[in-house]
């Protein structure tokens, strides 16, 4: 599913984010920036030890924030590591922190002149954020950023399974009807 927002592409795809050919791949990282499971483990595994070495030099990243490293062997120039919130029922600032993940990654992409970026669904795996709520936040944040900034020119949400793709498709269709 693809929509154009202020002349820029916003696309949803099912697939493996480590295979994307974009300027930046966003990693759903943990705050210590050490290799974990899920998307984080896949990115570290596919990208090689250079990513982990740079993460160790950085040392950590706060929830809602983003930092950048090399992309190692990935088909990207950079990996943008963002730390999503752990779902604790929704009353602990989770929505604001999740929006901040997307916004800070997009701001860093703009600052580094990264014209294309691929996101996973942040915090919806082991951090247990409800996918429908996360999708609405992600879509709204990305659309608002694209409406007000020239870069990036292309944003992809790379979604691993059918249920997650369906939730993001519904959120994008609601935000930007065809």
Hey, which residues are catalytic here? 40
List Cβ neighbours of 61 (8 Å cut-off, separation of 6 or more). Answer: 29, 31, 33, 67, 81, 82, 83
Q: What are phi and psi of 78, to 5 degrees?
A: -140, 155
């Amino acid at each position: 599913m693809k929509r154009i927002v202020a002349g820029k592409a916003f696309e949803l795809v099912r697939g493996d984010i480590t295979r994307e050919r974009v300027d930046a791949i966003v990693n759903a990282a943990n705050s210590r920036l050490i290799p974990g499971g899920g998307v984080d483990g896949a990115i570290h595994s596919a990208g090689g030890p250079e990513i982990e070495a740079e993460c160790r030099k950085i040392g950590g990243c706060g929830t809602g924030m983003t930092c950048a490293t090399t992309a190692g062997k990935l088909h990207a120039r950079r990996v943008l590591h963002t730390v999503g919130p752990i779902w604790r029922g929704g009353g602990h600032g989770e929505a604001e922190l999740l929006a901040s993940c997307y916004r800070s990654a997009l701001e860093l992409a703009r600052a580094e002149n990264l014209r294309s970026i691929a996101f996973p669904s942040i915090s919806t795996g082991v951090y247990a954020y409800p996918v429908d709520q996360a999708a609405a936040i992600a879509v709204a944040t990305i659309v608002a950023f694209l409406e007000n900034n020239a870069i990036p020119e292309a944003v992809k949400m790379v979604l691993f399974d059918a249920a997650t793709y369906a939730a993001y498709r519904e959120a994008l269709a609601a935000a930007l009807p065809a």
